[in-house]
């Protein structure tokens, strides 16, 4: 069957939020390319009968950004698959962790391999904020640890933690599609990850809590994430523009010794040890 494809360009800081808004408007798949540029190109796939102008206008309003220039065109299933696959190849993080789509193979000397295809839920490893947390996980001794991924999306961070030796990994998201994606991706990778809606997460705390969301939701979530991190445990926060890092660090300063631990392409990762 044919599909309606949209290609649009937006400022890098708006790309993630607009991609989420496109999913809310019914996009069957969304990806972001040109990760090294000030502006990013978004691609979205909708049912062929969709009204491109209406959907994109609603998504831009929800994302709080101007209506971007775009191109709408029809594609066949096989053309879309080829186009999608061309954008995603094996990705190495921190020289240790490989993110590899199902249609490709990792190098023969690859260390830890995580199989993941692009889909409805955010998180393929291509976004700087995701890479920052993956690198943090790869550099952390997770052997035997309890890990919580809050705002799990595709489950990429939770699955990476399990692959890197965590003993128990739980994942939380508000979106049912994200919970389904996390469960399916975990099974495909042969690891145990429990995925929950926020209100269904069982009581308990964790050695490590990771959250790759956005700055303002992270600030709102501080009391909850602090309560879920054991004394002496660590938190890693991403989805934060460098200009927002001071505000987020201050919000977490009461419960954590927090600081900016890494930066990439205008994005920051905040690390904190629980007091």
Query: Closest by alpha carbon to 22, among 34, 33, 31, 11?
Result: 31
Fold classification of 122-274 is Rossmann fold (3.40.50)
Which residues make up the CATH 3.40.50.150 domain(s) of the chain? 122-274
Backbone angles phi, psi at 201, to 5 degrees: -65, 125
**Which regions of the chain carry the CATH code 3.30.70.260?**
3-87
Q: Nearest to residue 195, comparing CAs of 146, 238, 162, 149?
A: 149
Residue 269 · residue 133 · CB < 8 Å: yes
Is pTM beyond 0.85? Reply is: no
Residue 114 pairs with which residues in a beta bridge?
99
Q: Which two tokens stand for residue 105?
A: 């193979």
Task: Please check the confidence at residue 118 and state whether its pLDDT lies above 80.
Answer: no
Range from 100-104, 180-184, 231-235 carrying the lowest mean pLDDT: 100-104
pLDDT per position as a tens digit, 78-109: 444 445 555 567 888 888 899 888 778 888 88
pLDDT band at 32 (very low <50, low <70, confident <90, very high): confident
The answer on pLDDT for 121 being more than 50 is: no
Is CATH 3.10.105.10 correct for 3-87? no
Range of weakest confidence among 32-46, 72-86, 111-125:
72-86
Q: pLDDT confidence of 120, banded at 50, 70, 90?
A: very low
Tell me the CB-side half-sphere exposure of residue 184, using CA atoms within 13 A: 14
Q: Residue 77 pLDDT more than 70?
A: no
Please report, in angstroms and rounded to a whole number, the separation of the first and last CA atoms in the chain: 56
């Amino acid at each position: 069957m044919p599909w309606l494809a949209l290609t649009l360009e937006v400022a890098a800081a708006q790309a993630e939020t607009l991609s989420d808004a496109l999913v809310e408007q019914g996009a069957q798949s969304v990806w972001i390319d040109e990760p090294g540029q000030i502006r990013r190109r978004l691609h979205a796939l909708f049912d062929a009968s969709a009204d491109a102008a209406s959907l994109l206008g609603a998504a831009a309003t929800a994302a709080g950004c101007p209506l971007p220039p775009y191109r709408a065109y029809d594609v066949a299933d096989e053309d879309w698959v080829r186009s999608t696959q061309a954008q995603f190849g094996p990705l190495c993080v921190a020289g240790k962790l490989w993110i590899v789509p199902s249609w490709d193979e990792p190098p023969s000397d690859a260390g830890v391999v995580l199989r993941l295809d692009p889909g409805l839920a955010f998180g393929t490893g291509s976004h700087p904020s995701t890479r920052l947390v993956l690198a943090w996980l790869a550099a952390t001794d997770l052997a035997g640890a309890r890990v919580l991924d809050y705002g799990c999306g595709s489950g990429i961070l939770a699955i990476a933690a399990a692959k890197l030796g965590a003993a128990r990994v739980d994942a939380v998201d508000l979106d049912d599609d994200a919970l389904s994606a996390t469960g399916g991706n975990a099974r495909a990778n042969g690891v145990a990850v429990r995925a929950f809606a926020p209100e269904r997460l069982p009581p308990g705390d964790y050695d490590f809590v990771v959250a790759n969301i956005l700055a303002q939701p992270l600030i709102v979530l501080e009391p909850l994430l602090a309560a879920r991190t054991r004394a002496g445990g660590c938190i890693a926060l991403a989805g934060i523009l460098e200009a927002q890092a001071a505000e987020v660090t201050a919000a977490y300063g009461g419960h954590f010794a927090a600081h900016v631990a890494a930066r990439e392409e205008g994005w920051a990762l905040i690390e904190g040890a629980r007091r």
